[in-house]
Amino acid sequence: MADLRLKGLRKSYGSAEVIRGVDIDIEDGEFVVFVGPSGCGKSTLLRMIAGLEDITSGTLEIGGKRVNDAQPKERGVAMVFQSYAIFPHMSVRENMAFGLTIAGASKAEKEQKVAEAARILQMEHLLDRRPSQLSGGQRQRVAIGRAITRNPSVFLFDEPLSNLDAALRMDMRMEIGKLHSQLDTTMIYVTHDQVEAMTLADKIVVLKDGEVMQIGSPMELYHNPANLFVAGFLGAPSMNFLQVDVLDVQGEEAKVSNPSLEPIVVKTAGRPIEAGHKATLGVRPQHLRVSETGQLHGNVTLAERLGSETVADLRLDDGSKLIAAFAEDKILDVGQRLSLDFDSDAAHLFPVDG
Amino acid sequence: MASSLKNPDRTGWAFALPGTVLILTFIVIPFFFAFALSMTNQRLISPNPTEYVGLKNYRDLLGLAVVTLEPERDDSGAVVIDDDGEIVYPRLRTITRSDDYPQYRGMREWFRWQSGEDARIVIASDVVFMKALVNTLLFVLVVAPVQGGLALVLALLINQRLRGINIFRTIYFMPVVVSIVVVSLLWRFIYDGSDGLLNNVLSWITFGAFQPVDWLGNTETALGAIMAMSIWQAVGFHMVIWLSGLQTISPTLYEAAAIEGASKWQTFRYVTWPGLRHTAVLVLIVITMQAFALFAQIDVMTSGGPLDSTQTVVFQAVERGYGKQDISGGSTISVILFVIVLTISLIQRYLTREK
């Protein structure tokens, strides 16, 4: 059990800086997900917490103690790797007891802890198998089991589900969620998959190019993205961005339009929007509705029917593209002209540069 | 190109042909030749026709027996003692040249020990071959584990990301690319009894207290000296094999071990060594086979001497086949060596099999 404080963490390889001053507070028992595109530094940050990478500057505290220079084993962390990293020559039982074997625990203690972890993960029947006899999901379970037996104060997951197929990924995602509520231990989870981030996290940290873009609960980030990057990163299909002209600004509201959008008033949310300038209007595909009186006009270029929803690609009158997702099975013809309506409260207005 | 794709069989055989012909000509056919010749009395150059002799060559090489000599007794029946206080025995030739024991005819004493008043003597049809066999086995028993172990240590040392590590890799590998004949010549100077480098160094670091040893001219030290030099020469080769094995082990496993708190030794024991299993089998078998084939060092440095203390099986095969022009005898030794190496390799494979 421990809380973590990351203060101004930096990491550079020679002159290349990959983590550029990250500040994150993680409470005890919290499930935090680091999410971002590949190369954003999320794995590096996790490895810095684990002690597998040196910290160039800043401080890392686990449970109130500065651990910048502590060995991985002194940090009380357990890590689950994307490639499982289970030892191929050991049985599942030996793999799960590995940390205890290293610590010189008694046979009885090992038996008891392995049995406990196996019960939590529902894998008692696999204990005597070899890793080569296991499926990907089972292997990842072994890796998680190995982490559990050590009773760590922080669990670190480095893209644990990326090597699994889609169906299994969903199962394991739920398992990990359950595991967190069962163990109630601090967990840090790295992924590039926003669905994992949204479903698992108490708190999401969105990273880009080694910098924190936004920290908050999944819904906070979804409904109130702090910038264009977060807005575009979370949600599928991603948010539509329309280049608009700002016609007028009145306090916290701005009137915007473009050739395919009739003038509409949206909130500025305190962002520096100035009349007479360009701005970016963000509208989630799910917030668009077909309406006779809609403000957006364009033609359908592609319609994908998924049964539960219909995703339409549109070419707007000004030539830009738009994606709309209707929560119903809708028959749309290519070339069909549509007028779309959206709730101006659900739209986000950003300055052009983010 | 298109035709070769349509006719993969013919193209494949065409590519395999040169290699196949070479292997057949220089390995497979000579191998069966050796078997056949070992059953004959073929000589390198001889006016007499070749005759089939069955297993006579094998009997002549491997014939072994233990005979007991009773001490000589005087008229009163007491054991005769010589001036040095040793018991006097009749000469061995009373048995090996006696018509009463035709089966021991021509055999010579290999070694003897005392059993009560009697002397037990191991006699062999070919004492030199027996010594060669023992020396070769001794060489393998020492060189295989020491060279393999040393190579692993070197591989672990240079498998690190350090500045200039390539210099060390090159240094350790250098003896491998130098011809063994050249290396043997150089080491003959190093081991020289009067003014050799080794004697000089030893005497220098002991402030002159060390008495020079004629390393290659002494039955006690000659085989050991050749072992040491052989280990040094080929250790770099096996280091490279170990190194390739080390680099197949996933770095994530090391990271997992580090997070679990494994010490250096525990990491080696639980991650590195199990990961090197297949490499270990390979290195062991290759070293064993190379060690059994010990020849060039002997030929250059000692020619089997002093007093046959560095005779080896392959040296004997060459010596007999070409030195004495006894092709059938040389072939027989080759076949025996083949059987020994095959047996040992099979045993090693069995012992190191995947359970």
Three-state SS across B254-298? HHHHHHCCCCHHHHHHHHHHHHCHHHHHHHHHHHHHHHHCCCHHH
CA-nearest residue of chain A to B274? A89
Pick the CATH number of A4-225 from 3.40.50.880, 3.30.559.30, 3.40.50.300, 3.40.50.1100: 3.40.50.300
- B252·A85 Cβ contact <8 A: yes
CA-nearest residue of chain B to A104? B262
B24-37 average pLDDT score: 91
Helix (H, G, I), strand (E, B) or coil at A13: strand
DSSP per-residue string spanning A286-337:
GGEEE-TT-SEEEEEEEEEE-SS-EEEEEEETTS-EEEEEESS-----TT-E
Helix (H, G, I), strand (E, B) or coil at B8: helix
Residues of A in contact with B256 (CB under 8 A): 79, 81, 85-87, 146
What average pLDDT does chain B have? Answer: 87
CA-nearest residue of chain B to A148? B260
For testing contact with chain B, the best of A48, A54, A77, A81 (most B CBs within 10 A)? A81
Q: What is the pLDDT of residues B166-213, one digit of tens each?
A: 888 888 888 889 899 999 999 999 998 888 888 888 888 888 778 888
B17-46 average pLDDT score: 89
Among B285, B284, B283, B341, which Cα is nearest to B317's? Answer: B341
- Report CA-CA distances (Å) from B299 to B7, B87, B197, B256: 50, 40, 21, 51
Q: How confident is the model at residue B126 (pLDDT cuts 50, 70, 90)?
A: confident
Q: Would you list the domain boundaries of chain A?
A: 4-225, 240-351
Could you tell me the domains of chain B?
2-37 (no CATH), 64-124 (no CATH), 128-351 (1.10.3720.10)
Q: Is B214 left (phi over 0), alpha (psi -120 to 50) or beta?
A: beta
The Cα B138–Cα B265 span in angstroms is 31
Position B1 scores a pLDDT of 47
Nearest by CB to A50, from B259, B266, B271: name it.
Answer: B259
Nearest by CB to B260, from A83, A89, A99: name it.
Answer: A99
Distance from CA of A50 to the nearest CA of B (A): 7
- A85·B266 Cβ contact <8 A: no
CA geometry: angle B165, B171, B174, nearest 5 deg? 135
Nearest by CB to A87, from B255, B263, B270: name it.
Answer: B270
- B259·A89 Cβ contact <8 A: no
- B259·A103 Cβ contact <8 A: no
Distance from CA of A221 to the nearest CA of B (A): 32
Peptide bond into B306 cis (omega under 30): yes
Quick one: what percent of chain A has pLDDT higher than 70? 99
Q: What is the pLDDT of residues B222-245, one digit of tens each?
A: 899 999 999 999 899 999 999 999
Interface of A with B (CB under 8 A): 50-52, 71-73, 77-79, 81, 83, 85-90, 98-99, 101-103, 146, 150
B337-347 average pLDDT score: 90
CA-nearest residue of chain A to B354? A89
CA-nearest residue of chain A to B260? A99
The Cα B101–Cα B94 span in angstroms is 10
The Cα B101–Cα B109 span in angstroms is 15
Neighbours of A125 (CB within 10 A): 9
Mean pLDDT by 10 residues, chain A (354 residues): 87 90 92 91 92 91 90 89 90 92 90 90 89 89 90 91 86 89 91 90 93 93 92 90 90 88 87 88 92 88 90 90 90 89 89 78
Nearest by CB to A79, from B259, B262, B270: name it.
Answer: B259
Position B65 scores a pLDDT of 86
- B260·A87 Cβ contact <8 A: no
Distance from CA of A81 to the nearest CA of B (A): 8
Q: What is the pLDDT of residues B109-120, one digit of tens each?
A: 888 888 878 888
The Cα A41–Cα A334 span in angstroms is 41
- B277·A87 Cβ contact <8 A: no
Among B268, B343, B332, B326, which Cα is nearest to B132's? Answer: B332
Give the E-state strand segments of A194-268 in sequence order.
203-208, 211-216, 240-250, 253-258, 261-267
- Report CA-CA distances (Å) from B312 to A274, B101, B318: 95, 31, 10
Residues of A in contact with B255 (CB under 8 A): 50, 52, 79, 81, 85
- B261·A146 Cβ contact <8 A: no
- A87·B271 Cβ contact <8 A: yes
The CATH fold assigned to A240-351 is OB fold (Dihydrolipoamide Acetyltransferase, E2P) (2.40.50)
Q: Can you name the residues that pair with A25 across neighbouring β-strands?
A: A5
Position A120 scores a pLDDT of 86
Q: What is the pLDDT of residues B263-276, one digit of tens each?
A: 899 999 999 999 99
- B260·A50 Cβ contact <8 A: no
- Report CA-CA distances (Å) from A236 to A15, A43, A220, A245: 36, 23, 16, 26
For testing contact with chain A, the best of B260, B263, B273, B355 (most A CBs within 10 A)? B260
**Is the whole-model pTM more than 0.90?**
no
Provide the pairing of β-strand A154-158 with A77-80.
parallel
Position A216 scores a pLDDT of 94
The Cα B193–Cα B102 span in angstroms is 46
Q: What is the dihedral of CA B7, B11, B16, B20, to 10 degrees?
A: 80
Q: At residue B129, does pLDDT exceed 80?
A: yes
Residues of B in contact with A50 (CB under 8 A): 255, 259
The Cα A176–Cα A156 span in angstroms is 12
B85-94 average pLDDT score: 81
Distance from CA of B192 to the nearest CA of A (A): 50
Q: Could you tell me which residues come within 8 angstroms of residue B321 by beta carbon, excluding any fewer than 6 positions away?
A: B44, B327, B329, B330, B331, B333
Q: Which residue has the tokens 């894998």?
A: A123
